[in-house]
Amino acid sequence: MSEPFTIGTRGSDLALAQAVATEQALAAAFPDLAVARNVIRTTGDRRTDVALSEVAKSEGIFDKGVFTKELENALDDRSIDLAVHSLKDVPTVLEERFAIAAVLERAPVRDVLVTRSGQDLQSLPAGSIVGTSSVRRARQLQWLRPDLKIIDLRGNVPTRLRKLAEEGTYDAIMLAEAGLIRLGFLPHQAHGLVEPVTSEDPLLAGLFVERLLEDFFYPAAGQGAIGFEIRADDARARDLAEIIGHRDTWLRVMAEREFLRLLDAGCHTPVGVFSSIEHGQLHLKARVFPEQGGDPQTADISACTSDPLQAALILFQSLA
């Protein structure tokens, strides 16, 4: 009897939902494949005592590795064969012994504003307190609404929702639409400008969500995508991942990640970038905020190519 194919995942509700999606895809493609799951606690899960932007610095971990280092250790010691990630949490450049092999079909990429009041971003009163752990979200909020107060918010998705509902510290919080959909807090399709959170918990059912359009509030590279990291020399894991992977999502996220690499951008660089494929060609938009402050650079291109690396280079060269 062959050894089971073991996937590694973080233990948050969202990470486990992503692991289930991966297991379902593997079961559909390989009905006879034995699949095991290894739940691993990462530095980012453990260090909730400091702002996310400070975790890597305090732990001596490169880039966004606060959510990937322990999973990579498990790949190294062969206790897992494939790590399931929220792709936006994966460093832009991996060590040579690792590779992103494939991605599942992408969920919606937008950011959302969650409130108790049902107000949208434009109608939030001046001085409202908005919670987020993302430097990118914070800088865009400050640029679009300099009259808002942005403070740090840590925890998994349900924890953040409960902090908004219970504590009274925040008037609104920022989250990713994909996570709310995967956890059942939002339907896949939008129903109106501002929608109630879907929950059997009456506390959370009193919250409201505004989905922010990508070309108004730029998402993170790879947002909404579930990525598979493997040992670079593991041909079996690569073949399995590629068979369940989604080609158009792969092209889009590779272009977005290559743009970050060209920028030499890490987790402290506030960058929004998103892509689409139209008639087989990549279309990319980006908004890049200087780390020292100031207005962003922007770029908007139709690359006239299906090559993600070439599309990213064209976008990078067109920044203004």
The shares of helix, strand and coil residues in the chain, as percent rounded to the nearest 5, are 35, 25, 40
Closest CA to 167 of 156, 153, 157, 177: 153
Q: Using DSSP, state whether 208 is helix, strand or coil.
A: strand
| CB of 127 closer than 8 Å to CB of 273 | no
8 Å CB contact between 255 and 312: yes
- Which of 32, 63, 77, 89 is an active site residue? 89
Bridge partners, 273 (sequence order): 286
Question: Kind and range of the H or E element at 129?
Answer: strand 129-131
- Tokens at 22, concatenated: 């991966």
Is 49 one of the annotated active-site residues of the chain? no
Length of the chain, please? 320
Place of tokens 């996570």: 179
CB 80, CB 6: distance < 8 Å: yes
Residues catalogued as catalytic: 89
